[in-house]
Every structure is written in C-alpha cells, then in structure tokens.
Structure 1
Amino acid sequence: MVAPAPVTTAVGGGAKASPRHDNRGPSSKSFLAWLVVVPFLAYVGTFLVYPTALVLAGSFQDSDGGFTLANLADLTRGAYLRAFLRSVELSAITALLGAVFGALLSWAVAVGDREGLPRRAVVAGAGVLAQFGGVPLAFAFLATIGFQGFVTQFLRDSFGIDLFATGAWLFELPGLTLVYTFFQIPLMVIVFLPALDGLRPQWREAMDSLGGSSWTYWRHVGGPVLMPAFLGALLLLFANAFSAYATAAALVSQGSPIVPLQIRGFLTGEVLLGRENLGKALGLGMVVVVGVAMGLYAVVQRRFARWQR
C-alpha cells in the first residue's frame, strides 16, 4: 500500500508541502521521556538515595539494631561537636576568601575582551583548577611548601626564612585553609562570571547620562543585581568545602580535626567496634548542613533569576 503524498498548497505562486502531523500520542512521548531518564534515576537511586537512607536509618540505631537517640546526642558534645565547629569554621573562611578573590578575578576578566585570549585562558584554567583536588593537590602543596618542598628549601637556604618556625601549620587548619582556597577561587570564577556578564551596558549608560558616578552605579544598580548571585556562590563554596574529604585525608595523617576525617575513623578504625552508627550520625549531620546550604542557594538563585528576565 502506497502512503498518501503530502498535501500541497499554492502560496505566492509556488507549491509548499503541508507539514506531516506526528502520529505519536502524548502517552507515547511520555513513555519515551521516562525511558531516557531511567538510567539517570537508577544512578541517583543507587549512589545517592540508597546510601542516604542507610545513613538516616543507622543514625537512630544502636549496636543491636534498636532505636536510640544517643548517636545524635553525642554530636552535641566533646570531640564530635568540636569537629563540626572546625568544619564550619574552615568552610566559612575558605568560602569567604574564595568568593572575594574569585569575584575580583571574575570582574577583571569580565571588563576585558570577551573573545580575547586572557579571558579564554582564565576560564579554561578555572575549569581545570576547580576540579584539581584530592591526593594530587595535597602532593602539590607538600612538594612546594612542605617540610622538604623546593620553595621551603629555597627560602631557608637563600634568605634564612623558615616557613615552619611556628610549627607544622600546613597539616593543621591553617594549612587546610590555604589548600582549600586554592580550588575555591577558580570555582567562584566559574559560578560568578556569568552573573557579571549579565550586567547590561544600558544600565551603566543610563546612569552616566543621568550624571551618576561609578560609586552610585555599583551602590544602586550593580551591587543589588549581583548580590544574590554573590551570596548564592558563597553558599555553594561553603557546601563544597564542608563536604571535601580527599584533600584533607591526604594532607592530615594524624588526628581528625574535621567531620569527614572523623567519619573516616569510624569506617577504618578497629578500636570503635560497636560505635559504627555514630559515624552514620556524623554523616547525617553533614547531610543536614549541606542540605540547608544548598536550600538557601536555591532560594537566592531564584531571586537572582528575576533580574535576568
């Protein structure tokens, strides 16, 4: 059986074929859409939802499987509370440093030529360095400013300057702050640069035509427009630092100053038998903190989207 030819209509002296209608119904399209998303849902369910459910259930169980609130109560005192406070302190400081210096670098890039080589180099470098973490990053700092790093030896031999005269700061919170800031700044560039690109030149031109100064523009136009994006990026950097593990684990070999290293102790230690669920409670605390930060990030991003319409 031969399929009917498409109907043609004469328009302006020529023949134009009318579009053929799709015979697939809404149910067919919905099925195909769900079929495409099934692998993603399976991945999320296996590596995110299921582990989170195990952590949530284990946080309220004792060693015998019974219900208890003792695990959560332990998080509010002693070494575990101090670990949470240090993690929050580390995340807040590195997020603030990364946001400030990253915003300044983003601004320097945004005012230049959008197609120029400096902008492309900075954006490409930020994309690489934002993902440069874990053991390679820790090794890079150890080889550079560690006890036997080449910069440490150069300063000691040439100028008599000892970077570790006050102690092994690189392997404590000050060192983690420096290392974390290394990948926080490029992440800020990636997140904040599109917001700077969203500033319309017409706004500055209108301010100039009305006799306003640069300070007036940034106070009444540029600042309020960019503030939601800056706060959203700040929250994203906080969550990124709070959940980082590999870099701290490779750099800090003794002690557990932050929560991820406390959890490592419960997973790998042999002297904490019967307290494994306390590690799950620590994980639940991290999920709550990161969830709150990302929830605030979503709220701020919605506010920023209003200025982009």
Structure 2
Amino acid sequence: MLTALGTVPFFLYVAVFLLLPIAVLAVEAFRATDPVTYEETWSTDSITAITEGVYRRAYLGSLQLSLITAVLSAVLGLALAVAILRARRGRLLRRLVLTASGVLANFGGIPLAFAFIATIGTQGVVTALLQDTLGIGLGGFSLYSMTGLALVYLYFLVPLMVLTIIPALEALRPQWREAADNLGATGWQYWRYVGGPVLLPPVLGATMLLFASAFAAYATAKALVGSSVPLVTLQIADALSSNVVVGAENLGKALALGMVVVVGLVMAFYAWVQRRTQRWLA
C-alpha cells in the first residue's frame, strides 16, 4: 500500500503536465472561431488546413531536418563511443567525454544559436579570420539555412547519442567475441551475426530518440533562422502569437496535435525496440 502511494506524485505529474495538455489539444484542434461573431463551433477545418500548403511544407521540413540530423548524429556518436571504449587509456578519456557530452547534450536554445552566430555567422570570428587572414570564405555555406541549422543540431545530438549508446556497447559480453574467435569466426562475421544484431535495437532506439529531440526543438531554430526555414514548431509559434487572424490559435493547436501524433508514433517504436534490447542484454 505504501509503495503504491509513493507513485501517486509521479502519476499526478504525468496527468497534469502530459495527459491534460494533450487532451486540451485534442479538443481545441477541432474547434473553430467565427471571425465576425467570435462564436466557437466544432469543425475539422484546422485539421484539414495543416495537411496543405505552407503547413504541409513545415511538417516535411521538420521531418527532413530531424531524419537527417538523427541519422548523422547516430553514426558519428556511435563511432565516437566505440573509439572511447577501445582507447588504451579509456577510463580517463571516457570520463572526460561523458562529462562533456552531458553538458553539451543540454546546451541548446538561444545561447547555442548565439554561439554559432558569433563563431561562423556572417560576421563571426572564424568567418572573419578566414577572410582576413587566408582570404577564403565558407564556400557558399550559410548558417541561416537548413544546412546550417542541421550543423547546429549536431552539436547537441551527437553527445546525446554518445550518452545513450555507451551502456549498450558496454553490455556486449567479451565471452561472445571469445566464443566467436574459438569457432573460427572473423571480425566481420562476429559483427554480422553476433554484435550487429545485438546492437541494432539500441542503435535504432537511440536514433528514434534523436529524431524526437530534433523534431521538437524550437528555441535554437527560432533564434537562428526565424521563419526562413519551414519548420512546424515555428509555425505553431506564429499561429499562437497571432493578433490578426481570429481563431489562429486553434490552427496552432492542430499543428501541435499533429506533432504529438508523430512523436507518439516514434516513441512507441522506441519503447518496442527498448523491450527487445532488454531481452538481449539482460
């Protein structure tokens, strides 16, 4: 009984700050406000609108950005994690990298955007140094574009991948490699038939986590690119802060509900992958 009572604050927190907002979005997304009488009625206009025009492009832009950054971060983070664990002085190096990753994975928003603007922006320190000292530019690269935004996202997604995947790499038992060697398996065969299948679920799960993190990011994109790059989080902010169009807040809530659905599907897949991972690594 006492154990059950200990879970009450957690479930109360989930209900108030997760389930209740989702329920409000699910209701308000199907509401419409008359621009003349300001009367609210039930309508699917907002749901229909987010699948067309600029809002459709915003969803596609967010999905494209999230998918690219998630895959790149997964590859780079996995390579970095493997290198750390294989280093001869791995204990000290691992401690330093994990500490730095813990800081960098939580360093985002406006400070991160400002740091990149001050470094490789149009008038950034590195940009000016390359132009004044070496006489070269950034080769047409613009920080205020989809490519530049993806580079900024890698800054905190790669450390997040390192933190997520290192426990899975450490769970690979040395006895598996020894058994494979004793049976005459090559390094490729070990990773093809033993290590790879065991690591695939946690790698996929971590990639899904990176995707959800990039898909929901807002402050960094807002400070860096404004509305020049089509992203659904920026469209939601514009709709909710609109003082001109009556009922635009319902459209913003419909966009947010669409994000909840996308992230919910991703996290459901992540949970399924995690269950398979625990079965292998238990």
Report the TM-score when normalising by structure 1. Answer: 0.86
CA offset at residue 149 of structure 1?
Answer: 0.9
Inter-partner Cα distance in structure 1 for 2:188 and 2:253: 50
The amino acid across from 1:283 in the alignment is A
Cα deviation digits, residues 69-109 of structure 1 (max 9, x gap): 11111111100000000000000000000000000001111
Q: Which moved more, 1:48-57 or 1:88-97?
A: 48-57
Inter-partner Cα distance in structure 1 for 2:89 and 2:27: 51
Asked if the contact 1:95–1:234 (Cα under 8 Å) also holds between the matched residues in 2, the reply is yes
SS at match of 1:199: coil
Which stretches in structure 1 are left out of the alignment for 5+ residues? 1-29
Asked if the contact 1:59–1:280 (Cα under 8 Å) also holds between the matched residues in 2, the reply is yes
In the alignment, what sits opposite 1:166? 140
In the alignment, what sits opposite 1:185? 158
SS at match of 2:234: helix
In the alignment, what sits opposite 1:81? 56
Inter-partner Cα distance in structure 2 for 1:65 and 1:34: 42
Q: Which moved more, 1:77-86 or 1:103-112?
A: 103-112
Inter-partner Cα distance in structure 2 for 1:61 and 1:34: 38
In the alignment, what sits opposite 2:92? 117
SS at match of 2:250: helix
User: For 1:253-292, what aligned pairs fall within 5 Å after superposition?
Assistant: 253-255=226-228, 257-292=230-265
% identical equivalent positions: 53
Cα deviation digits, residues 93-133 of structure 1 (max 9, x gap): 00000000000001111223687210100111111111110
Report the TM-score when normalising by structure 2. Answer: 0.94
CA offset at residue 240 of structure 1?
Answer: 0.7
Asked if the contact 1:113–1:119 (Cα under 8 Å) also holds between the matched residues in 2, the reply is no
The amino acid across from 1:150 in the alignment is V
Cα deviation digits, residues 159-180 of structure 1 (max 9, x gap): 22222x637x211211110011
Higher RCO (C-alpha 8 Å, min separation 6): 2
Which stretches in structure 2 are left out of the alignment for 5+ residues? 34-38
Inter-partner Cα distance in structure 1 for 2:23 and 2:229: 25
In the alignment, what sits opposite 1:224? 197
SS at match of 1:62: strand
RMSD: 1.6
Larger radius of gyration: 1
Inter-partner Cα distance in structure 2 for 1:152 and 1:34: 58
Distance 1:52 1:216, change over 3 A: same
The amino acid across from 1:73 in the alignment is T
In the alignment, what sits opposite 1:48? 18
Inter-partner Cα distance in structure 1 for 2:257 and 2:25: 6
User: For 1:79-158, what aligned pairs fall within 5 Å after superposition?
Assistant: 79-112=54-87, 116-158=91-133
